[in-house]
Amino acid sequence: MRALESSGLGDAIRSRVSAGRPLLAICLGLQLLCEESEESPGVKGLGLLSTVVTRFPAHARTPQLGWNLVEPSRPEGLVGPGYAYFANSFKIDSAPPGWSPSWADHAGRFVAAIERGPVLACQFHPELSGAWGLRVLMAWARAAARGTEVTC
């Protein structure tokens, strides 16, 4: 966050998302969009998602490394149902109003991805998620090119 803020990129990302311009955030990128994180107590995030990043429960194996089922909350979104590759010890538990989540389960349900128009933030790694991940990336690229939502 220090590097983002000192370079001016924090304000650029906030402006871009607020204007509904395309943005793709992956893994830590999703977490940086939030207000704060248990991973770095006292450090404020970008504040674009009104939620807090929390650690998986103590009984959960962390980091979560491997494949997990992703289930979208709506069929017309950028993320379709499928298996994604995750590498995370932290998560968000809810989607702020106005954002559409996709869900996964690792010691309980958590947000696997969140989207609004051409803004997509994934906790998983689409670039490591085979053909399914490529479909997610292509859907986002089409939405970014058109400035509208596109189904994958």
| Greatest alpha-carbon span in the chain | 44
**Total domains in the fold of the chain:** 1
For the annotated catalytic residues, the residue numbers are 27, 125, 127
Q: Is 152 within a domain?
A: no
Host domain of residue 39: 2-146
Q: For residue 125, list its beta bridge partners.
A: 85
Q: What is the pLDDT of residue 147?
A: 64
Residue 105: how many CB atoms within 10 A of its CB? 12
**CATH number for 25:** 3.40.50.880
Q: What is the mean pLDDT of the chain?
A: 94
For the chain, list residues with pLDDT below 50.
149-152
Q: Is 151 within a domain?
A: no
pTM value > 0.75: yes
* Whether 123 contacts 86, CB under 8 Å: yes
pLDDT in tens, 81-102: 999 999 999 999 999 999 999 9
Segment holding 28, helix H or strand E: helix 28-32
Q: What is the pLDDT of residue 148?
A: 53
Q: Is 52 within a domain?
A: yes
Q: In sequence order, what are the residues at sequence separation of 6 or more whose Cβ sits closer than 8 angstroms to the Cβ of residue 55?
A: 38, 39, 62, 89, 90, 91
Q: How many residues does the chain have?
A: 152
Residue 141: how many CB atoms within 10 A of its CB? 15
Q: Is 63 within a domain?
A: yes
Q: Is 49 within a domain?
A: yes
